[in-house]
Amino acid sequence: MILPFNNTKALPICAKNDYVIQVHADLSEIDIAAWNSLLDQQAQPSPFMQMQYLRALQESGSAIPRTGWTPQFITIKIGGDLLAACALYVKTHSYGEYVFDWAWADAYQRHGLRYYPKAVAALPFTPVPGTRLLARDASGRALLLQTIEEFAQQLQLSSVHLLFVDTLDGQAAKAAGWHLRQGIQFHWQQRADTPWTSFGDFLTSLTRDKRKKIQQEQRRVREAGVSYLILEGAAIQTAHWDFFYTCYCTTYQAHHSSPYLTREFFTLMQHSLPTNWLMVLAKRGEDMIGASLLGLDPQQRCAYGRYWGSIENVPCMHFDACYYQSLAWCIANGYQRFEGGAQGEHKMARGFTPMVTTSAHWLSHPDFARAVGDFVEQEALAIEQYQGELHARSPYKVDLG
C-alpha cells in the first residue's frame, strides 16, 4: 500500500522483515523526541532539520500543498523504534530549492513529458548543507533510498532530488545509482592554527585592498549615524520579530516577489526554537531601520546567514549588518563556521571562501536519467575549474587551505 501525495493520513507502504514504513502528510504524527534523537546521531545534523522547524513550516502555512510543498515524510521503524527517516516533499514547481533544475523541466516539456510533480528531500527555502537521510547506519540509509524510489515509482513521479546532502548521503546515493551534482557556496571558517580573537585581528589577515574596502564600508555606515543592537535567543522580543518581518517583506517587494515564510512561522520559531536565532538590528538613534537574521547551531558552533531587509537605504549597511557585525559576533562567541547561504561571489571580498555542495538526483525516465548523468559529469568539471579560479582570488594574504 502507498500513500497518495494528496492524502492526509499516515499509512504503511509496507510492513516486511519487521520494518514498518510509513508516509506522513501531517507532521504532528511524528514524535519530536524520536526524530530529533535520530537527527543528533547523524554526521552533519542541521538545526533546520529539527522537527520543531519542519512542523513550523507546515503549521504556519509556509510549506504546504497550497504553496507547492506537500509533506510526505517517510519513517521506518523496527520494534517501535525509529530506524530511519526522511523529510520528503512532493513539489509542483522548483521554487525555494536553490538547486536549479528549470532546464530539466523545460526539456521534459519540450519532449511532451511531465516533470511535475517531483519529490525533493530538502529543507524548504533553506539552502543549508547537512544530513538528509536520517538513519542509524549505512543499511538504514540504503533502505531509505530504496523506499524513496518505490514511493516515486508508485506515484509516477518524474524524479527525486536530495538537496545539499552530506558526504555519507552522497556516497549512499551514488552506490544506489543516483547522479551527484555539485555546486558552490561561500562559507567563513575560523582559522585552525591561530584562531582570530577579534574582528580587527581577522581584518589583518586579509589582503590590503580587501581590508581597506571593508574599513571604508564600515566608516560610511558609521558616518550615516547607524549603530547596532545584537540580540540572541530569548532576548529577541515580539516587537523585534515584528520589525524584522517588515524588513523581510520589503526585500521580497523590492524584487517584485512574495515572501516564502509567513509571520506565524517566525512566531513559532520565537517560542519553539528560541536558542537557534541571532538578530542584528541596525538603528539610527532609537529607531530601527534594518535587520539581519542568522540561524545558530550552538552545539556545532556554526552560524547561518538567513534573511535581511531594511526600511531605509543606507549605503553599505547590508554588508555591515549581514557580514561584518555577524562575523565579529561569531569570533567573539567562539563560533567556528559562518555559512553565507546560496550563491554570492561578493562574499569572497568579505572573507568567505568557496565550498563545494552536493545534491543527488534520481530520474524515472531512462533516457533523461542518462542525459542528466552526462550533464552533471560535465558540470562537475566546470565546477572544479571554477573553484580553482575562485581559490586563486583568495581574499587572504596567506592561503588558509
pLDDT digits (tens, 9 = 90+) for 201-215: 999 999 999 999 999
User: With contact defined as beta carbons under 8 Å apart, do 204 and 393 qualify?
Assistant: no
Alpha helices by DSSP H, 79-122:
102-110
Instruction: Give the per-residue pLDDT at 16.
Output: 57
Instruction: Give the per-residue pLDDT at 74.
Output: 98
Kindly tell me if the per-residue pLDDT of 2 is higher than 90.
Answer: no
Instruction: Give the per-residue pLDDT at 4.
Output: 45
Kindly tell me if the per-residue pLDDT of 7 is higher than 80.
Answer: no
Instruction: Provide mean pLDDT across the span 220-233.
Output: 98
User: With contact defined as beta carbons under 8 Å apart, do 274 and 236 qualify?
Assistant: yes
Instruction: Give the per-residue pLDDT at 14.
Output: 56
Contacts of 103 (CB under 8 A, 6+ apart): none
Q: Which residue ranges make up each domain of the chain?
A: 11-184+357-392, 191-335
Kindly tell me if the per-residue pLDDT of 50 is higher than 90.
Answer: yes
Tally Cβ neighbours within 10 Å of residue 383.
Answer: 18
Beta bridge partners of 188: 338
Q: C-alpha grid cell for residue 195? A: 584562531
For the segment(s) 11-184+357-392, the CATH number from 3.40.630.30, 3.30.70.260, 1.10.1740.10, 3.30.470.20 is 3.40.630.30
Tally Cβ neighbours within 10 Å of residue 272.
Answer: 16
Question: Among 227-236, 304-313, 341-350, which stretch is predicted with the lowest mean pLDDT?
Answer: 341-350
Contacts of 338 (CB under 8 A, 6+ apart): 187, 188, 189, 302, 303, 304, 305, 326, 327, 330, 352
Instruction: Give the per-residue pLDDT at 1.
Output: 42
Kindly tell me if the per-residue pLDDT of 52 is higher than 60.
Answer: yes
Average pLDDT, the chain: 94
d(Cα 194, Cα 204) in Å, to the nearest integer? 13
How many residues are listed for the chain in this entry? 401
Confidence tier at 261 by pLDDT (50, 70, 90): very high
Q: What is the pLDDT of residues 142-159, one digit of tens each?
A: 999 999 999 999 999 999
Instruction: Give the per-residue pLDDT at 378.
Output: 96
Closest CA to 349 of 197, 218, 220, 213: 213
Instruction: Give the per-residue pLDDT at 72.
Output: 98
Q: What is the pLDDT of residues 343-383, one digit of tens each?
A: 789 999 999 999 999 999 999 999 999 999 999 999 999 99
The CB-side HSE value for 62 (13 A sphere, CA atoms) comes to 23
Kindly tell me if the per-residue pLDDT of 315 is higher than 80.
Answer: yes
Q: What is the pLDDT of residues 104-146, one digit of tens each?
A: 999 999 999 999 999 999 999 999 999 999 999 999 999 999 9
The DSSP letter of residue 221 is H
Three-class SS state of 73: strand
Percentage of the chain lying above the pLDDT 90 cut: 91
- Range 191-335: architecture per CATH: 3-Layer(aba) Sandwich (3.40)
Residue 174: phi and psi, rounded to 5, are -65, -40
Instruction: Provide mean pLDDT across the span 227-231.
Output: 98
Kindly tell me if the per-residue pLDDT of 11 is higher than 60.
Answer: no
Do the first three CATH levels of 11-184+357-392 and 191-335 match, i.e. the same topology?
yes
Q: C-alpha grid cell for residue 42? A: 547523524
Q: C-alpha grid cell for residue 274? A: 528560541
Three-class SS state of 200: helix
Strand pairing class (88-91; 159-162): unpaired
The CB-side HSE value for 274 (13 A sphere, CA atoms) comes to 11
Percentage of the chain lying above the pLDDT 70 cut: 95
Q: Residue written as cell 524520536?
A: 34
